[in-house]
Amino acid sequence: PQSMQLQKELMALQNDPPPGMTLNEKSVQNSITQWIVDMEGAPGTLYEGEKFQLLFKFSGRYPFDSPQVMFTGDNVPVHPHVYSNGHICLSILTEDWSPALSVQSVCLSIISMLSSCKEKRRPPDNSFYVRTCNKNPKKTKWWYHDTLHYTTGFRRRWEENVKVTKGNLPLKLI
């Protein structure tokens, strides 16, 4: 079932990709469970003409489990939801995932996220996060605070890694 679903989504992405997105055909030659999608910043946005790559990794539980998605390569966009290691803080990639979503809907969400950006900057906790995070962004427990449409911080499962005291949080979580 997973390979049939991935084949179906692969064909959809090849035949009708979201604007500015193209499947990197070489990336799927060896494995159906790992794709690279080439992306170009949308016209009229801060990222117009910039080129990025998204790495999609699918587990054996896809589509019931979300794909692991991150920016890869030499050019990671500077954005309040994108860490310099390529990790993306986007709720549909974790707890808001639904099997009704697809690779195309993830791509459209990322396009929308970049297109709505008003200022190129990293998340305020970028340095701390990049030093301490798991290589798999799905292992991060993200805390969203989007009243201003950007992330003000994250908090990992501290019990597993750090003894929390009032003074050692990377950011004040409001």
Predicted local distance difference test score (pLDDT) of residue 150: 36
Residue 97 lies in a domain: yes
pTM of the predicted model as reported, rounded to 2 decimal places: 0.80
Residue 167 lies in a domain: no
Question: Which residue has 């200022």 as its token pair?
Answer: 119
Which whole number is the average pLDDT over 104-122? 96
The SS3 assignment for 87 reads strand
5-19, 102-116, 121-135: least confident range = 121-135
- Kindly report, residue by residue over 133-144, the tens digit of the pLDDT: 878 777 776 655
Domain region containing 105: 2-162
89 is catalytic: yes
Residue 171 lies in a domain: no
Catalytic residue among 89, 107, 117, 133: 89
Residue bearing the bigger pLDDT, 62 or 147: 62
Residue 174 lies in a domain: no
Which whole number is the average pLDDT over 54-65? 95
Residue 170 lies in a domain: no
The torsion region of residue 49 among left (phi > 0), alpha (psi -120 to 50) and beta comes to: left
Which domain CATH number covers 146?
3.10.110.10
